[in-house]
Structure 1
Amino acid sequence: MFRQLAAALFLLPCATLAAAPALAPGSWAITSTTVAMSVPGLPRFMARMMEGKSKTHRKRLLAGHGMEALIAPDPKERCHIDVQRVADGKYNQTLTCPQKRGQPVQVVRSGTYDGTGFVGRATVTGTTAKGSMRIVLNQRATRVGD
């Protein structure tokens, strides 16, 4: 369960209703770095090993796409956008994402953006069979090519 949840968290870069400025088309790298992690049942040494670790995935933007396309959740994760605002160089987003077992997790994301990408933080909270969990990620997106 934890492995799938961790993979989902790193693949989250997520959508919006308010139109943001168009971003340059091409390949974008979205990097998520674990800042803090508290997951019941996960040995503390493993959580410490994951803190500071980064995972990067790529997303291809088409001409005319804006910030909403860059932060759109991966459809495979089946996350529901509860709240989203992208305006004036800032974004805020709340998602509910299912787990294979147990209650859905909530992801709250916020940060700043411009034509070169975004910088922000995602906090994931939920309940596992062993209790409440919390994972904090720093996220950054930059254009890396055509």
Structure 2
Amino acid sequence: MRTLPLLAAAALAAPLAAAAPTPQPGLWTVEARVVSVDSQNVPALVRRMVEGRVETYERCLTPAQARGQFERLLVQEEARCSFSEARFAGGAMRVKGRCTSDKGDMTLDLSGTHSGTGFRATNKMTLTGRLGTVDVTAAHVGTRKGRC
């Protein structure tokens, strides 16, 4: 009757396999690379200058922010944002929201993967500002560097 020990081992391992990583507090470095810019209002030369551009920033996340506001790591600090969806479960991340700043408005639709100490995601944004409506796709890579 080897089946019973195997079933018992599988039942005990199931909760461990289902345990999902949670974003960890600490110092994070985020790299955002512009993949594409799509708008008739943006001249081709400007588009070529912007596509491939990388912005790197660091942020310190408190334990409270890591538990319930990890999505704030993905937007400008001064932006006023509301999020209709912010899920970080099973190694997947999904964030949808709208932000307003002095530079204009933005909607974001981000999806990717995370390990608790790192993430990779694609962000499809629609920006509304001086140039009208501009669709931008960016690739984000975040890494927890350690304590704040």
Q: Which amino acid aligns with 1:28?
A: W
Q: Where does residue 49 of structure 1 map in the other structure?
A: 49
Q: Which moved more, 1:122-131 or 1:36-45?
A: 122-131
Q: Which amino acid aligns with 1:109?
A: L
Contact 2:71/2:95, CA 8 A, preserved across alignment: no
The structure carrying a bigger helix percent of its residues is: 2
**Cα pair distance change 1:69/1:83, threshold 3 Å:** closer
Q: What is the correspondence of 1:1-146 to structure 2 with a 5 Å cutoff?
A: 21-23=22-24, 25-63=25-63, 66=66, 68-72=68-72, 73-74=75-76, 76-98=78-100, 100=102, 104-128=105-129, 131-146=132-147
The alignment's TM-score, normalised by the length of structure 2, stands at 0.70
**Cα pair distance change 1:52/1:60, threshold 3 Å:** same
Contact 2:22/2:88, CA 8 A, preserved across alignment: no
Unmatched tracts of structure 1, length 5 or more: 1-18
SS in 2 for 1:21: coil
**Cα pair distance change 1:74/1:130, threshold 3 Å:** closer
Q: Where does residue 6 of structure 1 map in the other structure?
A: none
Q: Within 2, Cα distance between the matches of 1:65 and 1:31? A: 19
Contact 2:23/2:66, CA 8 A, preserved across alignment: yes
Q: Which amino acid aligns with 2:48?
A: R
The percentage of counterpart residues that share the same residue type is 25
**Cα pair distance change 1:64/1:21, threshold 3 Å:** farther
Contact 1:20/1:66, CA 8 A, preserved across alignment: no
SS in 2 for 1:122: strand
Q: Which amino acid aligns with 1:114?
A: S
Q: Within 2, Cα distance between the matches of 1:45 and 1:80? A: 33
Give the number of equivalent residue pairs: 126
Larger Rg: 2
SS in 1 for 2:111: strand
Contact 1:31/1:141, CA 8 A, preserved across alignment: yes
Unmatched tracts of structure 2, length 5 or more: 1-19
Q: Within 2, Cα distance between the matches of 1:61 and 1:127? A: 28
